[in-house]
Structure 1
């Protein structure tokens, strides 16, 4: 899939998350448990579709925040805390298709930033579209905060 990369200015987006520090080899087993815990400790107050899943990578350790975008009133409990996705100038792309192709989306943004002479600030995040039975229809937004 061709990834069209653009720059944009984004506002902070409120989230409900669990923060964790892990390793890249461990992360595939860690994120699902964290996300399940978030979903089990968020009580939605509105109707309709609920907030999209988010994963914010603050560092390359990785120090992560895994959770949901808050697009309607919620009550949170347990280990879940309120946070926000960063505000500012970003380079971003939209990946459509199975999650195993997300690495290509990240590579496209990194390469494009280098070609444009743009410096990445460090934090990056993914916003996952709502569930779709057909993996080819899954949409994931990939953002890199610019310095």
Structure 2
């Protein structure tokens, strides 16, 4: 499994919809939030990059958002809200294959990080590539926030 520990910060400026995940049905909640997000984006002709970001926050919360093209404060449609965050240190892995394999991939990645002595921080996210009809070619970039290494 090809993973990279990234020591360089990456910043995200997303707009979307957040929700609480109860009993951990992340896929179900994520799809509901994503459908709400895209209904708003399409009905308001809001220009985006078209890339979905599923952000896993602390306390069982998640946020599904997109990057807007040239966002103007007065042009952000309700109920979209901003979410800005930075991953100072994180693990990066590109999953190629069906979305249904993602829960198992997360288990494998978390096990590998534990083996390496890494401590998972918050947030973590999935960045979905553009959709294609062949599930074996779908690309999802997984970024898992990591705590700083002790000096």
TM-score normalised by the chain length of structure 2: 0.81
Counterpart CA distance in 1 for 2:84 and 2:130 is 19
Q: Which protein is richer in strand relative to its size?
A: 1
Structure 2 runs not aligned, ≥5 long? none
TM-score normalised by the chain length of structure 1: 0.83
Q: CA RMSD in A?
A: 2.0
- For the structure 1 residues 100 and 67, does the alpha-carbon distance in structure 2 shift closer, same or farther, using more than 3 Å as the test? same
Question: 1:34-62 CA distances to partner (integer Å, 9 max, x unpaired)?
Answer: 1122123234447xxx3310111112x52
| Paired positions, count | 140
Residue 56 of structure 1: aligned partner = 55
- Pairing 1:95-110 to 2, within 5 Å after superposition: 95-110=95-110
Task: Please give the secondary structure, in 2, of the residue aligned with 1:12.
Answer: strand
- Pairing 1:1-147 to 2, within 5 Å after superposition: 3-8=1-6, 9-24=8-23, 26-42=25-41, 43-45=45-47, 50-59=49-58, 61-70=59-68, 72-74=69-71, 75-147=75-147
Contact conserved, 1:93 with 1:105, CA < 8 A, in 2? no
Structure 1 runs not aligned, ≥5 long? none
